[in-house]
Amino acid sequence: MCFERAEDVVWETLAKASSRRASADQMWGTNPEAFSRNVREAAELFESIGKHESAASCFCDLREFERAGKIYLNKCGKMDAAAECFTLAECYSDAAEAFAKGNEFTKCLSACRKGKLFDKGLRFVEQWKEHCTVQSKEIETIEQELCTRFP
């Protein structure tokens, strides 16, 4: 109420979002519908004031991993968190791209393997060979696997 009276919209919205999130946490496990409703409201409020990481966390709790991954990637610049969300959403192409941007070579190729993105995986390997000094036995092993599955 204080923020509302002070006409501080950002802090008022933050207080509402935090309140919704706290209410949801109390309902977790006992009232799934109310939990989801409160978490969704909190996520949208957080997102509306630029608290993107909090919004993404809420979307993860709602199991909306693709949406959370996009927020982590595009708004927070958190490649690992984005890639993990995309993996949970089974969006392996997006996961591979995010892992690649975060220089997580093995995880990138693993996402390519899970998503059967053999041609994409081979392109990543070629790019890394041209631009990086990273070479590991694990990458070589995955490269061989990709080559045997994608002639």
> How confident is the model over 93-120, as pLDDT tens digits?
999 999 999 988 889 988 998 999 988 9
Q: What's the gap between Cα 62 and its chain centre?
A: 13
Q: What is the pLDDT of residues 10-36, one digit of tens each?
A: 888 999 999 999 999 999 889 999 999
Q: What is the pLDDT of residues 128-150, one digit of tens each?
A: 777 765 556 666 776 677 676 65
DSSP state, 47?
H
Residue 132 has φ and ψ, to the nearest 5°, of -125, 160
Residue 57 has a pLDDT of: 98
From 55-69, 73-87, 101-115, the region with the lowest mean pLDDT:
101-115
Cα distance between residue 64 and residue 75, in whole Å? 16
